[in-house]
Structure 1
Amino acid sequence: MAEFHPPHGASPLPNIPDDLSIPQFFLDFNHPARPVRPHGVPWLVEDHTARPIAFDELRLRTAGLANALSSKWNIAENDVICIYSPNHVDYPVCIWATHKLGAIVTPANPGYSADELVHQLTTTSTKLLLVYTDFLPTALSAARLAGLPEDRIVVIEPSAASPFNGKHETVSKLVSFGSSKPQNFIERKLRPGEAKTKVAFYSFSSGTTGKPKAVVIPHYACIANVLQKVAHYGLNDPSLKKKHMNPGEVAIAVLPFFHIYGLVVVMHYLLFAGLSLVVVPKFNFTEFLKSIVRHKITHLFLVPPQIVLLCKHPATKNYDLSHVSFCASGAAPLSGELMSSLRHILPNAAIGQGYGMTETCTTISLMGGRQRMGTEGSAGQLIPGILARVVHPDGSLCKEGEQGELVVTGPSMALGYLNNIQATDETFVDGWVRTGDEVIMRNSEVFVIDRLKEIIKVKGFQVAPAELEGHLLLHPAVADACVVPIPDDYSGEIPLAYIVLREDAQKRVLKSPREGEQLKAALKKHVADTKIAYKRLAGGVIFIDAIPKNPSGKILRRVLRDQARVQVSQRAKL
């Protein structure tokens, strides 16, 4: 078999409108596949106050904010707005208001340093920055460096405890202003087929070299992936008596909305499916448990580090989680051992994994709609609309059960990388996306074996080794560097650096072991001072005589990665 399809008997893919923007699809259009949300069931719930937010409020706030953005800054077609914020009930409002104007959203990680945020602002030519108050100082520094005027910074929510001086507009004030004025813009109707190329998001994804790249995602891709999941879970299948999710159930939105998993799966899909989202700004495990109980959460969409805590943290036993009926894990592989442990923590829940990428506008595979437990080691079944190939290194196609690189196509694929032709040509080939993951396919299920790409996955976040290596080489003691992943029970993987020292530093270390430990600490600090927390060298630093390379000078990263895994395994046995 040269190509792999969703399982036989999967629900057919509903019609995907190709002339609607995302807010038009969600707020103005009643798609026949949309489950009916019961009367009085809110779309969003603010976690700490339990304040419910209904459809009408979201729709009015979206229209008001869009009008204000148009009136005050003339935000229009293809302008870019960056959202630099943790989860917030106004996050979807900010997205949909931007899209109503034909503009583009680039979601940024609020943990970014100023330098990292500058890269995103300049790469996307951002015109306006929406920032949560707590992160205003970093946003101001980045804006100055990126040449973005201070009057183009909008605060999402002022706070007495945060350094907010009242100089900036706030989202709530803009909503009031925009709602009180005549409409200043004409919302454009897309031509048939235009949603396939009309850009909605510049979502950042790390490549194997250099800094993160902006993935160009059209409106159609997000809408398509929502409808693909509706079909996969059989939400409108009358023969499926017990569905994984039903309108009126409650999910916790603790995964960050800036990440493609939180953005498409949690925010957009679950809202379309008729669930209420309890919006949590920041993950704190004990508070997370309290929220699950307080709001009677039925659905958990998590990443492996959060599942590790559920299974191993002593606080879990203090909470009754029997009302949880569904738990999905994604962004990184979940071991069979953890899945087995989770069954005891969530005795009434269907449990499984999913797999996807920013470049595929999220989901490629999910636990089947009729499965109560996902197949151990499986990243799920291909969802409707996805076609997959598994490719040998020589380019020939693998048969079922053979190992090779997963290559996929479908209606949700991104368009490429912004202003990066070389990277686009390497990943997006004739409508197919090279995932960089080595897999085996069995019975339409994806089993991820290894990563061909050099990306490190820390708590589900992507870390490019080359970015850290380039930064380490700036340190005066470093002659060469190679960063590899090592396994970690909590984070999945963490970065470890192999360092070749310059001759003078090497002599100092040979003379004094204490000097070596101080230098390792200095190198870890060198990274920590300028990189977001998940990019730091949590795996440590190892000095080495030479970095193994092939004749053309390319780092043989797998050699050191395998060596590091052996060392970690040996330490674990001691």
Structure 2
Amino acid sequence: MTEFYSPGGELPHIRDDLTIPQFMFDFTHPSRPVVSPSAPVLVEDATGKALDLNQVRERTFGLANALRHKYGIDRDDVVVVFSPNHVDYPISIWAIHQTGGIFSGANPSYTSSELEYQLEVTRAKLIICDPTSLDTTLKAAKARNIPVDRIVVFDTPSTGSGYTTVSQLVDEGLRLSKQGKRFEELKLKPGEAKTKLAFLSFSSGTTGRPKAVAIPHYSVIINVVQCAVHNKVNEDYTSWNERRYRPGDVGLGALPFYHIYGLVVNLHVTMYSGLSLVVIPKFDFVGFLKSIVRHKISHLFLVPPHAVLLCKHPAMKDYDIRKYVRMIVLGAAPLSEEINYQLFKVFPDAHIGQAYGMTETCTAVTIYPLKTKRGASGSSGHLLPGVVAKVVKPDGTMAGYGEEGELYAKSPSNAIGYSNNKQATEETFIDGWVRTGDSVVIREDNEVFIVDRLKEILKVRGFQVAPAELEGCLLDHPDVSDSCVVGIEDEFSGELPLAFVVITAEAKKRIAGSKVMELGLKESIMQHVAKNKINYKHLKGGVEIIEVIPKNPSGKLLRRVLRDEAKAVAKKRKAAAAGHGTKL
């Protein structure tokens, strides 16, 4: 069997009896730089208000104390956080962990039915949300019989709903502590960090509706150390000016913390590496540029649509951010070669490269190497220390260097499996390996290239979209009798959902010979999905009406046939737009 090992070698020893907050607040390790306790850790973007490590530790303890005494949050109770990024978002995560609870982050743009699904799957005992999301939260909570007094809101300028706020809980927890009412923080036995769950993070896996990935404390800790060792954050390996990570640098916290990339790499790795993190609630490109200048942000953690904006948005000429930005990491979806080279031109002196990972591998599997400031174009980088890979050909044999096949990854950071979903777990987690569903080529110079996606999942702006989920929604439309969703290429989003639908006989009669009626029907179908699904799952690739959905004799969708058809549709649209003088 051919196996590929990280050129970075094995990991140093890491204790397996630590919770994530114990690791983040108090753990010393050769891979971790020593930073003054008074150095800013989390910075609120709008106000510039900074919290140092001591303040973060105190707020975390106060909140945890209140979660235990007011709500009874205890070992393995799930708390869902349904909010954009907030300076108290990480504090909420670590407070949940200190009580022994499990954190589950929900996309703040979810509809009430999508949030209800997550509350159901996780069996959540408490919800922490943004005040602007209260209506959605209340609908979902009611559907799951969660009392309104178990909804807590973050403090924002719009807070004033009458609901208990996080800051009020922090104050209450600290007050209770002074009265001698102190909760007992979770302590783990040797080896227990490998099984005690920290996160239930949602992923579509290789198919189907989102699944709750069961991630223990040890997996997060391991991946943080893997990233730190790979990037030599505490090694004097080159001049100070050329080091990729330096204590005192400033990172951008614009990636959502509910997403595994934002949660582990952007938040935990950045803090562990001695950087301050500027927390941005919602991405707005001009505001993003202003934040870089205002806070002198040096490290950007981005997805490909952000890179497109950095290369093409007209506002770039108004902000001189090149003198601040020293490093750019891109993940969550492939970056086109064209945008990659344009990014190099825009930031000629910055370290720029890609990374690859999954929720199931918690998180990064590869990162571009330190040997050069520029990651190889199209490459996701090198395997991280401690990661082993194999590449499996369609016939089941093992591929060697330069040969294509499906990537399997074995890492001490791998998740345990999917919570309460034995079948899906057995399909993806196989004898210590995670079957990624991505087709790769590993070169002899250790560069890993993702060349195709074997799984059905679409990647829209870095977010996973399961075609089966949208197909089920489409079949709820009264005029749709069958459907198949595939991705259509888009420069900004990577790809967009495009629906091929077969309409009912009644609908055919209604639109017969009328382009206006046909366009109206397509719009109705798109609006149906828009009402029921989060925005990045909307059918922005459009709707195509066809006579039959191609299937094999067993009834399985021949999705590849319609992927080819989607390419033809994209080509036709591009030609039509060019004919009308439209620049794509």
Task: Give the TM-score range, shorter chain.
Answer: over 0.9
Distance change in 2, residues 1:447/1:498 (3 Å): same
Contact 2:39 2:53 in 1 (8 A): no
Task: Name the residue aligned to 1:539.
Answer: 541
Unaligned runs of 5+ in 2: 579-584
Q: CA deviation at 1:194?
A: 0.6
Q: What secondary structure is seen at the aligned counterpart in 2 of 1:436?
A: strand
Distance 2:448 2:568 in 1: 27
Distance 2:119 2:86 in 1: 21
Contact 1:42 1:52 in 2 (8 A): yes
Distance 1:11 1:453 in 2: 30
Question: Sequence identity, in percent?
Answer: 54
Q: What secondary structure is seen at the aligned counterpart in 1 of 2:209?
A: coil
> After alignment, is 451-460 or 201-210 more displaced?
201-210
Contact 1:70 1:101 in 2 (8 A): yes
Structure 1 residue ranges, 4+ long, deviating more than 6 angstroms after superposition:
none
Q: Could you give the per-residue CA deviations for residues 428-468 of structure 1, whole angstroms, max 9, x where no partner exists?
A: 00010000001111122211111111001011000000000
> After alignment, is 180-189 or 295-304 more displaced?
180-189
Distance 1:563 1:18 in 2: 50
Q: What secondary structure is seen at the aligned counterpart in 1 of 2:372?
A: coil
Matches within 5 A, 1:425-436: 425-436=426-437
The structure 1 residue matched to 2:476, chosen from 474, 479, 484, is: 474
Q: What secondary structure is seen at the aligned counterpart in 2 of 1:255?
A: coil
Task: Name the residue aligned to 1:303.
Answer: 303
Counterpart amino acid of residue 397 in structure 1: M
Q: CA deviation at 1:188?
A: 3.1
CA-based RMSD of the aligned residues comes to 1.3
Distance 1:137 1:364 in 2: 38
Q: CA deviation at 1:237?
A: 3.1
Contact 2:194 2:218 in 1 (8 A): yes
The structure 2 residue matched to 1:176, chosen from 161, 171, 176, is: 171
Q: What secondary structure is seen at the aligned counterpart in 2 of 1:355?
A: strand
Task: Name the residue aligned to 1:502.
Answer: 504
Task: Name the residue aligned to 2:525.
Answer: 523
Distance 2:81 2:421 in 1: 22
Q: CA deviation at 1:335?
A: 1.1
Answering whether residue 40 of structure 2 is matched by residue 42 of structure 1, we say: yes
Answering whether residue 417 of structure 2 is matched by residue 421 of structure 1, we say: no
Task: Name the residue aligned to 2:58.
Answer: 60
Task: Name the residue aligned to 1:568.
Answer: 570
Q: CA deviation at 1:12?
A: 4.8
Counterpart amino acid of residue 233 in structure 2: L
Answering whether residue 335 of structure 2 is matched by residue 337 of structure 1, we say: no
Distance 2:38 2:69 in 1: 34
Contact 1:321 1:345 in 2 (8 A): no
Counterpart amino acid of residue 405 in structure 1: E
Distance 2:313 2:181 in 1: 52
Q: CA deviation at 1:158?
A: 4.7
Q: CA deviation at 1:513?
A: 1.5
Contact 1:38 1:248 in 2 (8 A): no
Contact 1:208 1:465 in 2 (8 A): no
Answering whether residue 306 of structure 2 is matched by residue 314 of structure 1, we say: no
Task: Name the residue aligned to 2:485.
Answer: 483
Counterpart amino acid of residue 167 in structure 2: S
Task: Name the residue aligned to 1:123.
Answer: 121
Matches within 5 A, 1:151-190: 151-160=149-158, 164-166=160-162, 168-181=163-176, 182-190=180-188
Answering whether residue 260 of structure 2 is matched by residue 260 of structure 1, we say: yes
> After alignment, is 326-335 or 34-43 more displaced?
34-43
Task: Name the residue aligned to 2:582.
Answer: none
Q: Could you give the per-residue CA deviations for residues 90-112 of structure 1, whole angstroms, max 9, x where no partner exists?
A: 01110000000111000000000
Distance 2:358 2:206 in 1: 14
Task: Name the residue aligned to 1:450.
Answer: 452
Distance 2:435 2:534 in 1: 27
Q: Could you give the per-residue CA deviations for residues 508-560 of structure 1, whole angstroms, max 9, x where no partner exists?
A: 22231211000000000000011100000000000001111111000011110
Distance 1:349 1:123 in 2: 43
Distance change in 2, residues 1:207/1:239 (3 Å): closer
Task: Name the residue aligned to 2:247.
Answer: 247
Task: Name the residue aligned to 1:285.
Answer: 285
Q: What secondary structure is seen at the aligned counterpart in 1 of 2:119?
A: helix
Distance 1:264 1:413 in 2: 13
Contact 2:37 2:53 in 1 (8 A): no
Contact 1:95 1:105 in 2 (8 A): yes
Answering whether residue 105 of structure 2 is matched by residue 104 of structure 1, we say: no
The structure 1 residue matched to 2:222, chosen from 212, 221, 224, is: 224
Counterpart amino acid of residue 172 in structure 1: S
The structure 2 residue matched to 1:197, chosen from 173, 195, 198, is: 195
Contact 2:38 2:54 in 1 (8 A): no
Q: CA deviation at 1:89?
A: 0.6
Contact 1:35 1:235 in 2 (8 A): yes
The structure 2 residue matched to 1:16, chosen from 8, 14, 17, is: 14
Distance 1:90 1:260 in 2: 18
Contact 1:332 1:460 in 2 (8 A): yes
Distance 1:551 1:446 in 2: 37
Answering whether residue 325 of structure 2 is matched by residue 324 of structure 1, we say: yes
Distance 2:476 2:566 in 1: 24
Distance 1:72 1:158 in 2: 22
Distance 1:38 1:24 in 2: 17
Q: What secondary structure is seen at the aligned counterpart in 2 of 1:493?
A: strand
Q: CA deviation at 1:346?
A: 1.5
Q: CA deviation at 1:14?
A: 2.4
Unaligned runs of 5+ in 1: none
Distance 1:208 1:136 in 2: 32
Counterpart amino acid of residue 39 in structure 2: V
Distance 1:80 1:63 in 2: 18
Task: Name the residue aligned to 2:213.
Answer: 215
Contact 1:133 1:159 in 2 (8 A): no
Contact 2:30 2:234 in 1 (8 A): no
Answering whether residue 340 of structure 2 is matched by residue 351 of structure 1, we say: no
Q: What secondary structure is seen at the aligned counterpart in 2 of 1:43?
A: strand
Q: Could you give the per-residue CA deviations for residues 360-390 of structure 1, whole angstroms, max 9, x where no partner exists?
A: 0010000112221010110111110110000
Counterpart amino acid of residue 383 in structure 1: L
Q: TM-score, normalised by structure 1?
A: 0.97
Counterpart amino acid of residue 447 in structure 1: F
Contact 1:234 1:240 in 2 (8 A): no
Q: TM-score, normalised by structure 2?
A: 0.96
Contact 1:469 1:482 in 2 (8 A): yes
Task: Name the residue aligned to 1:557.
Answer: 559
Contact 1:225 1:412 in 2 (8 A): yes
Answering whether residue 495 of structure 2 is matched by residue 493 of structure 1, we say: yes
> After alignment, is 472-481 or 30-39 more displaced?
30-39
Distance 2:256 2:363 in 1: 14
Q: CA deviation at 1:137?
A: 1.0
Contact 2:382 2:447 in 1 (8 A): yes
Q: What secondary structure is seen at the aligned counterpart in 2 of 1:529?
A: helix
Contact 1:110 1:135 in 2 (8 A): yes
Distance 1:331 1:179 in 2: 39
Counterpart amino acid of residue 498 in structure 1: F
Contact 1:11 1:234 in 2 (8 A): no
Q: CA deviation at 1:189?
A: 2.0
Task: Name the residue aligned to 2:395.
Answer: 394
Distance 2:181 2:30 in 1: 30
Counterpart amino acid of residue 213 in structure 1: K
Counterpart amino acid of residue 252 in structure 1: L
Answering whether residue 72 of structure 2 is matched by residue 74 of structure 1, we say: yes
Instruction: Report the number of matched residues.
Output: 569
Counterpart amino acid of residue 475 in structure 2: L
Distance 1:523 1:116 in 2: 19
